[in-house]
A and B are shown apart, each in its own frame.
Chain A
Amino acid sequence: MMEERLKKSIKLVKKGDQTAFEDIVSYYQNNVFAICFRMLGSKHEAEDLAQETFIRAYVNIHSYDENRKFSTWLYRIATNLSIDRIRKKKPDYYLDAEIKGTEGLTLYSQIPNDQVLPDNEVESLEMQAYIQKEIMALPAKYRSIIALRFLNELSLKEISDVLEIPVGTVKTRIHRGREALRKRLRHV
């Protein structure tokens, strides 16, 4: 049902109805934001890039082929923009990025202490910040895989479509990424 509605909205946007784009943004914003965040490690930057992703999608809506999955096309824009952004950063930015990576944490630390936080370690925010920091230590190509596979739970085929690499390569990267993270997170 939702799929049908989105398809309709996309058609309307193609015909020049700007307001129909709002549906698309609100439906995909979390996933796109998550991809950007996993790849960049900063909420501020992720928000900025997620916005740019949607603007690019809007401007280039005519190059989207309606016979293919819209999400695949959209996530490709998001990952490409993220990779571009990472490349443009100077090497010393990585030190910076780690600080920025904790931005989310400081934001959350402003939440009053009396608010009950889940005690489950996985959901603990500090834990999340730590995991993200470890993810940021991986090369960008593994980060994109991790964002798509573990956060948005795309199939291997979809990931291969988004990143435009063969399924075999996707598998290899997932295995290596998983292995690398295992080593980094084993003592948690």
Chain B
Amino acid sequence: MSCDKEIVEMMHQYLDGDLDKSEEKKLRAHLQSCQACQHHFHELKRTVALVTANVDLQPSPDFTKKVMSQLPTEKKRNSVIRWMRVHPMITAAAIFFILMMSGVFSAWNQDQLSYPTGKNLIVKNDIVIVPEGVTINEDIEIQNGNVKIEGKVNGDVIVINGEHLTASAGAVSGDIKQIDQIFSWLWYRLKELGQSVFDLTK
């Protein structure tokens, strides 16, 4: 191999498909005049042919089956996380829904009696009484208790999770609403919200 490295480099470039036409011509011209380089080039081409040869390299016939049987079975948790990653909007909506519902339930499950204070109402054994001679000029809302009206209410009376005891002689100018079911309570809350939005726009 007396020829310079440049020629050998060109041979490799040729085998890589990196030689342009003029360089290729130069290489050809040299190879025709130089026996040693011709031999070298021939050996290189033969080497490539030997290693490129269509070898029957194949894994065992049941290769795919073996791989499939070795795949880790997905943990439930992983697949849930994967699902969440694939469906971010639904996940967000679901989380929002859960938070909202838990808020609703905890509000619903507060068993404490609640009623408007400072209105001369009397409370006796979970019964909220509007005493005789008392006039309330607005809506009242009683939660987790019954109501008995002996006086006057110029507005709506809303009883949540309780009853309006009818054995009363009082007068209510508005509606009396009894709400016992969580969904009707929820509906009522939504309606109320809607109404307040309407009021705001007015």
Contact = CB atoms under 8 A, between A and B. Distances in A.
Same complex for A and B? Answer yes
A122 interface: yes
Contact of A22 (B48, B59, B64): B64
Contacts of B125: none
Interface string A20-44: 0110011001100110010000000
A148 B51 CA distance: 11
Given A30-B57, A30-B59, A18 B50 contact: no
Interface string A136-152: 00000000001000110
A150 B67 contact: no
Contact of B12 (A29, A33, A175): A175
A187 to B, nearest CB: 10
Interface in B54-80: 54-55, 57-60, 63-64, 66-68, 70-72, 74, 79
A122 B70 contact: no
B166 interface: no
A18 B74 contact: yes
Given A18-B71, A21-B71, A181 B51 contact: yes
Interface residues of A, number: 42
A174 B16 CA distance: 9
B15 interface: yes
Contacts of B67: 21, 25, 29, 51, 54-55
Given A16-B83, A33-B58, A182-B43, A150 B48 contact: yes
A29 B63 contact: yes
Nearest to A188: B50
A178 B71 contact: no
A50 B57 CA distance: 12
Contact of A30 (B46, B58, B72, B83): B58
A181 B60 CA distance: 28
A8 interface: no
B83 A185 contact: no
Given A178-B48, A181-B47, A128 B55 contact: yes
B52 interface: yes
A116 interface: no
Given A16-B74, A182-B44, A25 B53 contact: no
B51 A51 contact: no
Contact of A150 (B9, B52, B70, B72): B52
A1 interface: no
Contact of A185 (B15, B46, B55, B60): B46
A128 B59 contact: no
B82 interface: yes
Given A18-B71, A18-B74, A171-B16, A131 B66 contact: no
B197 interface: no
Given A37-B57, A123-B54, A151-B55, A51 B12 contact: no
A131 B44 CA distance: 14
A47 interface: yes
Interface of A: 14-16, 18, 21-22, 25-26, 29-30, 33-34, 37, 46-47, 50-51, 54-55, 58-59, 122-123, 127-128, 131, 135, 146, 150-151, 153, 156, 171, 174-175, 178-179, 181-182, 185-186, 188
Given A18-B74, A128-B53, A175-B12, 5 more contacts: A22-B68, A50-B59, A123-B54, A171-B18, A182-B40
Question: Which 10 pairs, one residue from A and one from B, show the smallest C-beta to C-beta distance?
Answer: A33-B59, A175-B12, A122-B53, A150-B51, A34-B57, A182-B47, A25-B64, A54-B67, A150-B52, A26-B64
